[in-house]
């Protein structure tokens, strides 16, 4: 009986052990399937280990072109360096995925940038939106072979518009640049960086800059109020065209005749002005006020205020407004005071910020007015 009992006990133990092994194997298989599904969800097709994601690019360039209406045309260039056959094969797989699953990649980029946009709306208190999101791929071979996955879209109300002034960057407040990432701001030729007391209005100081652009490179964590770029419009920028070398110079005969004509007109004007002044002097003498003692009380014209050279730039603009009845075009300020467009724009911008004048637009021209006293 003892031998039979021992054999029965051994059989039971074998059956139990076999059952445990089968259950463990099934659980392991289920876990493997779940893990693989999670990995597959990271990319639309294929194993994530075989196909790199956009965020795994060797370099990322974020180009932001700020338009005059305050929107931004953005291009995010994910660059993959194809240094060997393995990297080239990975790029070909990614390129094929982007081509076959374009909508998936567009949706992922839209979702990611909408998170950044939401933070920008909170920081600026402006309603914003993304539109025309697209993705394309290409391969370049100079100076080295690089695969480019470019995501493009438009960001509405990216910058704050103030007549002849643009303030941009607050929409990216708190934005983080990772290692290998470059952020670049560009703008139209009609605008230039605003300069206040010799300091360009860019925060933080750019890592690199060129005409019409500034840029920063990672790793960098921007504070809540950065990056920030202030631009001022200069309507004369880029309008002068150099004279072609093939064009003939003005003949000296024409110059001489023009000078002679100007001299004749000037002499005639001087004679006419002298006669008029003599006539006015006679009338003034006839209308002179005689005092009781018989002396003549001549009225003298006292200049209104100090001479222009003793006034600040802002005071000269305000005096010109008062002389013109409280309203004048910005171009008239440029011609009357013989200033450049950039200097005029800066002075006007400062007066507007201090609420000393109001500025509105008629067509493509700025009109300055004194504020209402209501």
Which sequence spans correspond to the domains of the chain?
54-233, 313-369
The pLDDT-based confidence of 146 (bands split at 50, 70, 90) is: very high
- pLDDT tens-digit map of 97-124: 999 999 999 999 999 999 999 999 998 8
CA distance 239 to 241: 6
Burial degree of 281 (CB within 10 A; 0-12, 13-18, 19+): exposed
- pLDDT tens-digit map of 37-55: 233 334 565 444 567 888 8
61-65, 237-241, 246-250: the lowest-pLDDT one: 237-241
Residue labelled with tokens 């006007």: 348
Q: The tokens of 69 are what?
A: 């209406």
Helix or strand run (H / E) with residue 361: strand 358-362
Q: How far is CA 41 from the centre of its chain?
A: 36
- pLDDT tens-digit map of 52-97: 888 889 999 999 999 999 999 999 999 999 988 898 999 999 999 9
pLDDT value of position 265? 73
Sign of CA dihedral 315, 319, 325, 331: negative
| CATH 1.10.357.10 corresponds to the domain 313-369 | no
Q: Are strands 213-217 and 208-210 parallel, antiparallel or unpaired?
A: antiparallel
Which residue, 148, 30, 126, is CA-closest to 82? 148
């Amino acid at each position: 009986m003892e031998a039979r009992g021992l054999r029965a006990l051994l059989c039971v133990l074998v059956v139990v052990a076999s059952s445990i092994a089968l259950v463990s194997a099934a659980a392991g298989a289920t876990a493997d399937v779940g893990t693989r599904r999670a990995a597959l969800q990271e990319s639309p097709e294929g194993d994530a280990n075989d196909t790199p994601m956009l965020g795994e690019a060797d370099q990322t360039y974020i180009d932001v072109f700020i338009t005059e209406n305050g929107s931004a045309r953005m291009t995010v260039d994910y660059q993959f360096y194809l240094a060997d056959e393995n990297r080239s094969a990975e790029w070909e797989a990614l390129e094929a995925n982007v081509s076959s699953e374009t909508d998936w990649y567009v949706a992922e980029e839209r979702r990611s940038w909408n998170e950044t946009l939401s933070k920008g709306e909170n920081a600026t208190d402006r309603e914003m939106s993304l539109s025309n999101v697209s993705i394309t791929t290409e391969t370049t071979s100079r100076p080295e072979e690089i695969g480019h996955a470019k995501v493009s879209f438009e960001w509405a109300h990216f910058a704050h518009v103030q007549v002849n002034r643009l303030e941009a960057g607050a929409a990216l407040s708190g934005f983080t640049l990772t290692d290998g990432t470059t952020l670049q701001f560009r703008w139209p030729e009609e605008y230039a960086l605003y300069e206040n007391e010799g300091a360009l209005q860019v925060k933080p100081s750019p890592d690199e800059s060129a005409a019409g652009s500034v840029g920063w490179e990672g790793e960098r964590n921007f504070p809540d109020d950065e990056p920030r770029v202030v631009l001022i419009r200069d309507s004369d920028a880029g309008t002068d065209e150099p004279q072609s070398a093939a064009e003939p110079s003005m003949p000296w005969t024409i110059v001489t005749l023009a000078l002679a004509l100007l001299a004749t007109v000037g002499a005639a004007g001087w004679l006419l002005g002298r006669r008029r002044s003599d006539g006015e002097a006679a009338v003034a003498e006839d209308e002179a006020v005689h005092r009781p003692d018989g002396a003549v009380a001549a009225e003298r014209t006292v200049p209104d205020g100090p001479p222009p050279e003793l006034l600040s730039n802002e005071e000269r603009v305000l005096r010109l407004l008062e002389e013109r009845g409280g309203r004048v075009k910005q171009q008239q300020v440029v011609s009357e005071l013989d200033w450049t467009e950039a200097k005029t724009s800066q002075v006007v911008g400062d007066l507007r910020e201090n609420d000393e004048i109001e500025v509105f637009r008629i067509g493509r021209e700025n009109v300055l007015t004194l504020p209402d006293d209501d």
